[in-house]
Amino acid sequence: MNEAIQERSGRADVIDGEAVAAAVRESVAEAVSRLDEVGVTPGLATVLMSDDPASETYVRMKQRDCAEVGIESRHVEIDTDAPASELFATIEELNDDPAIDGILVQRPLTEGVDEPAALRRVDPRKDVDGFHPENVGRLVTGDPRFVPCTPLGVQRLLTEAGVEIPGSDVVVVGRSELVGKPLANLLLNRGDDADATVTVCHSKTDDLAAHVSRADVVVVAAGVPGLVDGEMLSADATVIDVGINAVGEGDDRKLIGDVDYESASEVARAITPVPGGVGPMTRAMLLKNTVTAAANQAAVDIDLGLD
């Protein structure tokens, strides 16, 4: 049995995102020490312009992750009442700051700020989120530089779970710029960890169940709890649940995914839990992209040991 697969629940193997993310962080820490030997310390800047408590939590987690692997982090908070020009000026400053290798502008931004305009301002060489149109274009044309962290995390979970991606039928539920579209492009590209036949479903898809039932791999990123359940799945399917939905109040408050875990794990071959699946991988891939950005900007030609 694979290291990524820790336990069985129902019939499906449970893919342990925390364990795979810990292994990624370990290899990132090793790469950081190799960079340290040549005098390079990677730096990540997080920019928050929002009062959303979940965003504040995520940004804190990202800083903690950085500290664990030896990446320096800087956090900039912009008042939600401030004009967008203040956000844009902050991004420009970070673009020009040699101590900063990666810039993450936490989404969603406060209402009224033109998000695409903000993402376009990030220097594409520091765009560790992979959201700048230049990096989006490079992914789509099969010459990726920075690939968004969640799709990268999903791809790694699939390979760690022993899924043979080439030739497989992948159904992605959700077509957002953040997750669905870049994931579809990543798995559609040529390569040993790709070469999939990809179908992308969304809210206007006629008969979601018909698509899902034919898939070897189902990735759900819709933000709709219970959207995919066991009845829709084929018995050999691997299910990756990207959704993060907070349900309940007070002591009953918890996170659930977009997949009905109970029924899906009775049918599927393997499944990711929420929490503990894709979320930790998203954060781990951010660290990896930051180290890559640092090596590229320092123009050091050393083997980072990252793949």
Ligand X SMILES: Nc1nc(=O)c2c([nH]1)NC[C@@H]1CN(c3ccc(C(=O)N[C@@H](CCC(=O)O)C(=O)O)cc3)C=[N+]21
165 binds ligand X (CB under 6 A): no
Q: Which does 70 bind (CB under 5 to 8 A by kind): ligand NDP, ligand X, none?
A: none
Q: Is 288 a catalytic residue?
A: no
Q: Is 279 annotated as a binding residue?
A: no
In the set 16, 62, 101, 297, the catalytic residue is 62
Q: Measure CA 104 to chain center.
A: 13
DSSP state of 126: G
Q: Select the residue interacting with ligand NDP from 208, 284, 291, 304 (CB under 6 A).
A: 208
DSSP state of 24: H
Measured from the CB atom, the residue of 40 and 281 that comes closer to ligand X is: 281
- Residue 279 — left, alpha, or beta (φ > 0 → left; ψ -120 to 50 → alpha)? alpha
Residue with tokens 């990543």: 186
Q: Select the residue interacting with ligand X from 130, 144, 230, 280 (CB under 6 A).
A: 280
- Side by side, which strands form the sheet with 43-48? 72-77, 43-48, 102-105
Interface stretch with ligand NDP, choices 113-121, 135-143, 239-247, 298-306 (CB under 6 A): 239-247
Measured between alpha carbons, how far is 286 from 25 in angstroms, rounded to an integer? 10
Q: Is 106 a catalytic residue?
A: yes
Interface stretch with ligand NDP, choices 71-79, 116-124, 201-209, 261-269 (CB under 6 A): 201-209
DSSP letters spanning 169-223: EEEEE---TTTHHHHHHHHHSSSTT---EEEEE-TT-S-HHHHHHT-SEEEE-SS
Q: Is 129 a catalytic residue?
A: yes
* Cβ-based neighbour number of residue 84 at 10 Å: 17
With CB atoms as reference, the residue minimizing the distance to ligand X is 279
Considering only CA atoms, which of 283, 285, 284, 221 is closest in space to residue 257? 221
Q: Is 250 annotated as a binding residue?
A: no
Measured from the CB atom, the residue of 70 and 280 that comes closer to ligand X is: 280
Q: Select the residue interacting with ligand X from 276, 296, 298, 300 (CB under 6 A).
A: 276
Q: To the nearest whole angstrom, how small is the minimum distance from the Cβ of residue 229 to ligand NDP?
A: 13
Q: Which of residues 265-294 bind ligand NDP (CB under 6 A)?
A: 278-279, 282
Measured between alpha carbons, how far is 22 from 11 in angstroms, rounded to an integer? 25
Q: Which of residues 99-138 bind ligand X (CB under 6 A)?
A: 104-107, 129
Radius of gyration of the chain (CA): 19
Q: Which of residues 124-163 bind ligand NDP (CB under 6 A)?
A: 150
Buried b (16+ CB within 10 A) or exposed e, 99-111: ebbbbbbbbebbe
* Contact pattern for ligand X over residues 220 through 259, marking x by CB under 6 A: ------------------------x---------------
Measured from the CB atom, the residue of 205 and 263 that comes closer to ligand NDP is: 205
Interface stretch with ligand X, choices 3-11, 31-39, 94-102, 268-276 (CB under 6 A): 268-276
- Side by side, which strands form the sheet with 12-15? 5-9, 12-15, 270-271, 238-241, 217-220, 169-173, 197-201
Q: Residue numbers of the site for ligand X (CB under 6 A)?
A: 57-58, 61, 104-107, 129, 149, 244, 274-276, 279-280, 282-283
Catalytic residues: 62, 106, 129
Annotated binding site for NADP(+): 174-176, 244
